[in-house]
Amino acid sequence: EVQLVQSGAEVKKPGESLKISCKASGYTFTNYRIAWVRQMPGKGLERMGIIYPGTSYAIYSPSFQGHITISADTSISTAYLQWSSLKASDTAMYYCARQGFDSWGQGTLVTVSS
Amino acid sequence: QSVLTQPPSVSAAPGQKVTISCSGSSSNIGKNYVSWYQQLPGTAPKLLISDNDKRPSGIPDRFSGSKSGTSATLGITGLQTGDEADYYCGTWDSSLSAEVFGGGTKLTVL
């Protein structure tokens, strides 16, 4: 069974850094790209970027370019989404999803507040 | 402003049928497959329809998808209260080189 299990909820202050994770199981991690999707409170889905785990090649959507970094560690079948300096507007639920969006993580709630 | 346009809400009575539309352009729906996702309250989205009209294993045949030109439609028959959720369409946009989603449609089963 394909599973994506994400790290737990985070509460951070503006300017702090953060790295959240998405651990894959049930399939060959390097064969499928992983996408990160943002859902702001009460809003819709926005694709932030994708990574090809086999090569670590990441592509960012224009709205998120320069503000996030997507990476992967194939030795533990885990993808990451990180920020070096959080803003209050980064408060949202973040999902990882496998290529084709046929399997999603349970989501990680990130709250950024002073 | 989402690339794909969906109605904000639809409603129907239990047992009835409802359709949800998704409008795009020649760079997205017009040349690529459409998927539909169901997001029950407080949960992650779930793939409901892929490749315009294909149901993944475990999805009941009450759910159907279709595409014509630059628009797609999700149909749900035999509505149940458990179908109350937000529904999103999604596809690849060849101009943006990225997956794009509709703004979501909230289904209320009266």
- Across the interface, whether the CB atoms of B101 and A47 are under 8 A apart is answered yes
- Contact between A68 and A59 (Cβ < 8 Å): no
Band the pLDDT of B97: cuts 50, 70, 90. Answer: confident
How far does the CA of residue B100 sit from the closest CA of chain A (Å)? 7
Q: What is the token pair recorded at A9?
A: 């909820």
* pLDDT over 70, % of chain B: 100
pLDDT (tens digit per residue) in A59-83: 999 889 999 999 999 999 999 999 9
Question: Any chain B CB within 8 A of the CB of A57?
Answer: no
Query: Which residue in the block uniquely carries the two structure tokens 């809003």?
Result: A43
- What is the spatial distance between Cα B62 and Cα B17, in angstroms, rounded to a whole number? 9
* Cα radius of gyration rounded to whole Å, chain A: 13
- Contact between A72 and A34 (Cβ < 8 Å): yes
- Across the interface, whether the CB atoms of B47 and A101 are under 8 A apart is answered yes
Q: State the average pLDDT over residues A16-37.
A: 97
